Structure 1
Amino acid sequence: MRPQNTIVSVLALLPQALASWPSFYSELESPYRNDEPDVQVSTLFQFPNNGSWVDNLALRRDGSLLLTRLDVPEVWSVDTDTGNATLVHSFPNATSCFGISEIDDDVFAVVVGNFSTTTYQPTAGSFSVQKIDLRSDTSGEEQRVFEQSVVVSQIAALPEAEALNGMATFTKESRLVLIADSPNGVVWKVNIETGDHSVALNDTTLRPAEGQALPLGVNGLKVVDGYVYYSSTTRMEFCRVKVNEDATPAGDYQVIASGFLPDNLDVTEDGTAYIATDPQNSIVRVTPYGQIALVAGGQLSTLMPGPTSCRLAADGKTLYVGTSGGQVAPVMGTFMEPGKVVKITLA
């Protein structure tokens, strides 16, 4: 075939190629899409008084929800079927509870310390990791009574920490938990058997941004498939780092997404993240490729003021959200409400 005929043949096929290009491009781009999902949002449980502040969430094997409170040193249980809530334990000699994570079947580690929800100032040296053992809980389904069944003990005191915050179990086999020290901008690892602790992660992305009135760096943590995922609040970044079996870095610290105010988070097995944005009054979803989509709420929305944390249920379709009621930044400058637990059903 002569060259001129080849060119004519290619040009003849061009309209057909162009016609099929949009669908092909759409399929090619589909892993990167992150459309805003259809959701249903309802309040599962709400405390009665303004000032109540839900900080973190954990799910039990029976499907009930454990929450920690920042305004008082308490852990509560919420029945996700009925919305009934019960006090599990109140810690003496402390003002606040922070991160919570399951370390054995129905055994949870809890971060406890002193923090003012008025001045937002922690008491350095006051932080510890406590253990709540719920394995002997035999309370009835209708109304849980925990006082007789909860066994509480100290795992470790961390006087070197300035303000412990979010926590994640590294692996149950390693007997390690990882805990964010937000003002210091490091992540501690704590052996839950011995109480031994040391800094595991230390990087610029973990540290508070310069010039911030509230020095809040690394905040929420989640361990998935050999990576530690974390939020860095005042840097407005969501990041991850590959780690070794002892939780030390095995790769570069990577910024996945930025430009919003991340608090606590949950991450699925494929690396999709759901992140609370406390003063921005929303939950966002971030793909492994860094695309951000709004799940629910919004800057001017009173649907869930001050979302602090989120936890995805085993069905992958139900997202539980804890809120501060908008205490950090009241909606439109004035609206606040008691802290609550919101249920988001994903279509």
Structure 2
Amino acid sequence: MKLSISWYLVAGATATTTAIPGSDDPLNIPLRHHAVTELPPGSWIENLAVRKNGNLLLTTVLPDASLFEVVDPAGASPTLIRHFTIEQITSLLGIAELTPDRFVVAGGNFSFVAGPAQGSFGLWSIDFNDPSPQPSLLADLPEARLLNGVIAAPEAQDVVLISDSFSNLVWRVNAATREVDIAANLQDATNPGPHSALGINGIKIHDGDLWWTNSTADTGAETNESQRAMYRIKVEKDGSPAPGAQPERMVQFQTPGLDDFVFGPGQNDLKWVATNSGDSIIAVNAEGRKAIVAGGDGSMDLTTTTACQFGRTQRDGRTLYVTTSGVEADGESRGIPSMVQAIDTTGFDF
């Protein structure tokens, strides 16, 4: 998610910035892609997760807080099911699988006019082992300002990590005890300049590091360096920063925004980044080189890319599923549907 609100904080401004790779212009290496499904104009698909059977779960920020499922996305005729809408809130955001077919999703009240409503955010659990899955409130997070990315800590049972884009915190929820605390505070020496907006957005743990995107920061006044970047910090199994660890700015971007991202396919170290209002997917290799693999500024089939995940079946393990929004980052509808696009990454390397 990206907003154009001027007074919020920017994560990672104190990160180590020496030898930043990937600050050059990206290559253009277009990959084949096609539409899988869509929602009507005026909708915003915010995030997705992949079930063990290969189906996709989609969350929506607009027009309401709904969870959809795309059945057989790799097939010839995928179908779309709405499972539920949480009427007490307006928007669903990040979603992640906690245990096989049990998912957690963040939600709260949000509008592009008024912004997020502090005190409205929480974490819900959905169990797809139940034939009629319904949301169950797992924890309230009344101090959260805008929950966004959600992951399950890969080496800590029942631990959920959630980015807070307007506080630049990573919240931690124990799904067994329902205890809530702060795993990481990333707001030191932030740059609340006149054009700064969202900070921390998508989060992932990869090879013992917590990675995140910093969404829409403008150039720092002192360093004259773009802070729209990917960062990492060494963390413990529960998501807490390792003793003495400091954020590192790993890849710098010149796109209008950054959103969620994924590593893959499989154990591959390639990073695939949704650029939100950049209307594209950018691949980043281990050396920090970047390539636009789909879309681009003004793209109508990858407009406002919000998240991406690889398929989990033999048929689509190298297919990158991408969610888009038919709404601009300022809330204006483009008059086009939000979509799920499938990008074939077979054989891709650079």
Q: Give the shorter-chain TM-score range.
A: 0.7 to 0.9
The one of 58, 65, 68 equivalent to 1:67 is: 58
Superposed CA deviations along residues 18-71 of structure 1, whole A, max 9, x for unmatched, are: xxxxxxxxxxxxxxxx965452111110113x2100000100000000000001
Task: Decide whether the 8 Å contact of 2:102 with 2:128 is kept in 1.
Answer: yes
Q: Percent same amino acid among aligned pairs?
A: 32
Query: Residue in 1 aligned with 2:307?
Result: 309
What is the count of residue pairs matched by the alignment?
298
CA-CA distance at 1:300 after TM superposition: 2.6
Structure 2: segments with no counterpart, 5+ residues? 1-25, 218-227
* Larger fraction in helix: 1
Query: Residue in 2 aligned with 1:88?
Result: 83
| Aligned mates of 2:238, 2:275 — CA distance in 1 | 30
Asked if 1:125 is matched to 2:119, the reply is yes
Residue identity matched to 1:161: A
Asked if 1:190 is matched to 2:147, the reply is no
- Are residues 318 and 325 of structure 1, via their aligned partners in 2, closer, same or farther at CA, if it must alter by over 3 Å? same
Query: Residue in 2 aligned with 1:217?
Result: 199
- Are residues 154 and 176 of structure 1, via their aligned partners in 2, closer, same or farther at CA, if it must alter by over 3 Å? same
Asked if 1:98 is matched to 2:88, the reply is no
The one of 245, 261, 268 equivalent to 1:265 is: 261
Normalised by the length of structure 1, the TM-score is: 0.80
CA-CA distance at 1:216 after TM superposition: 0.7
- Are residues 208 and 156 of structure 1, via their aligned partners in 2, closer, same or farther at CA, if it must alter by over 3 Å? farther
| Mapping for residues 212-251 of structure 1, pairs under 5 Å | 212=195, 215-235=197-217, 236-250=228-242, 251=245
| Aligned mates of 2:190, 2:183 — CA distance in 1 | 14
Which has the bigger relative contact order, CA under 8 A and spacing at least 6? 2
| Aligned mates of 1:105, 1:245 — CA distance in 2 | 20
Normalised by the length of structure 2, the TM-score is: 0.80
The one of 273, 291, 312 equivalent to 1:293 is: 291
- Are residues 122 and 335 of structure 1, via their aligned partners in 2, closer, same or farther at CA, if it must alter by over 3 Å? closer
Give the RMSD, CA atoms, in angstroms: 2.2
| Aligned mates of 1:275, 1:88 — CA distance in 2 | 28
| Mapping for residues 1-347 of structure 1, pairs under 5 Å | 36-48=28-40, 50-71=41-62, 72-79=64-71, 80=73, 81=75, 82-116=77-111, 118-119=112-113, 121-137=115-131, 149-171=132-154, 173-204=156-187, 210-212=193-195, 215-235=197-217, 236-250=228-242, 251-259=245-253, 260=255, 261-268=257-264, 269-314=267-312, 315-328=316-329, 335-347=334-346
CA-CA distance at 1:270 after TM superposition: 3.9
Structure 1: segments with no counterpart, 5+ residues? 1-33, 138-148
